[in-house]
Amino acid sequence: MAGIFISYRHEDSGGHAGRLYDRLQARFGGEHKLFWDVETLQAGDDFPMRIRETVASCCVLIAVIGKNWLSAADEQGQPKLRNAGDWVSIEIRAALKRNISIIPVLVGGAVMPRSHELPRGLARLADRHALQIHDANFDQGMNQLIDWLEKSLGFARQTRVSDRRSAANSLPESSWLLERPPKPVEPAAAAGDKKLGKDGLVYQWIPAVFEYSRASPGGSGFWIASDLVTIENYRRVTGTEAALWGIGEAPALLSYSEAREYCERIDGRLPTRDELERAPRAALPPVLLASRTVLLWTSDLQAGSAFLRAVLKQ
């Protein structure tokens, strides 16, 4: 049974929904299932049937609402929410009918719709207490959402890092030393070392530096691609075309879900901002050099699409 169902519009809040899923999967994934269509549905699944079955059995529905959630229109210019076949409307109507916990999560500066702005079958959504998550305070907002979900699902509160530190300080020094996690082991690599990744790109080793110990998970160095992922790289790794594609050797402009899928298939991840700053700049083709701004995916970027410079997991 899917305990948590994430409802959202791809064009309105796809990036935010992906970030929510990653954080919630890390907290609840081992104990409760989560449903996010990009991650959960498999090739060949009956989409309508899976959606209906999952909404009918979930405990909590998270309605991710961006600025265009209410105003989104179909090809005829009609509001999608008033379309009987709109899946976002179907998901929320079903959850309201079951009277389960529904948490509206407002992202990207969105405001909660009022009851008179919603179709009759969705009007009661306006009565649900919403949570505003700002990009600048994403972690704080996610901690509050996790607290709400723990109460809704009956989970014990997860110990925060600050809680663990306080508990450690109250123990005798010998006991605290026994509980202290081991320091990360630095891989047998030196600055300038290079190797081929599963995607055929060359990855270079960026060693750990004391003042940048927060730049990479675990405080260690990292392997980062020397070049941006191209259309051909993406096609070879995923077996599909990117939604925003161009010439084969040109850098691929990817959505959040596409960038995340690519990284997972090569045992990689999105870089952090600090890692991109520490790494030597990747070579850019003339068409990108002429652009004032070149967006690269990072673990905290909020954008509809960007280029990718992957980092390998260790």
- Please identify, among 125, 153, 181, the residue that sits at the C-terminal boundary of a domain: 153
**How many Cβ atoms sit within 10 Å of the Cβ of residue 262?**
23
- Tell me: do 86 and 208 sit in the same domain: no
**Overall number of domains in the chain:** 2
The per-residue pLDDT string of the chain (314 residues; one tens digit each, 9 = 90 and over) reads 458 888 998 888 888 888 888 888 888 875 557 777 655 545 555 556 777 777 777 888 999 999 999 999 888 888 898 888 888 988 898 889 888 889 999 998 899 999 999 998 899 999 998 999 988 888 888 999 988 888 777 654 443 334 444 444 443 433 333 333 444 444 456 777 888 888 888 899 888 764 433 444 444 688 999 889 988 888 888 888 766 655 556 788 888 888 988 999 999 999 988 888 888 887 666 655 555 567 888 887 877 788 899 999 87
Task: Give the structural domain span for 47.
Answer: 2-153
Domain match, 137 and 198 both:
no
CB contact at 8 A, 92 and 102: yes
Q: What is the DSSP letter of 170?
A: T
130 plus 210 within the same structural domain? no
Question: For residue 295, what pLDDT is reported?
Answer: 83
Q: Do 41 and 135 lie in a common domain? A: yes
Same domain, 144 and 243: no
> Does 206 lie in the same domain as 120?
no
Q: What's the CATH number where 21 sits?
A: 3.40.50.10140
Helix (H) or strand (E) holding 90: helix 87-98
Is residue 31 domain-shared with residue 147, that is, in the same domain? yes
Going by C-alpha positions, the residue among 166, 197, 195 that lies closest to residue 179 is 166
Instruction: Spell out the residues 6+ positions from residue 3 whose beta carbon is closer than 8 angstroms to its own.
Output: 28, 32, 33, 34, 58, 59, 60, 153
Assess if residue 228 is contained within a domain: yes
What does DSSP assign to residue 29? T
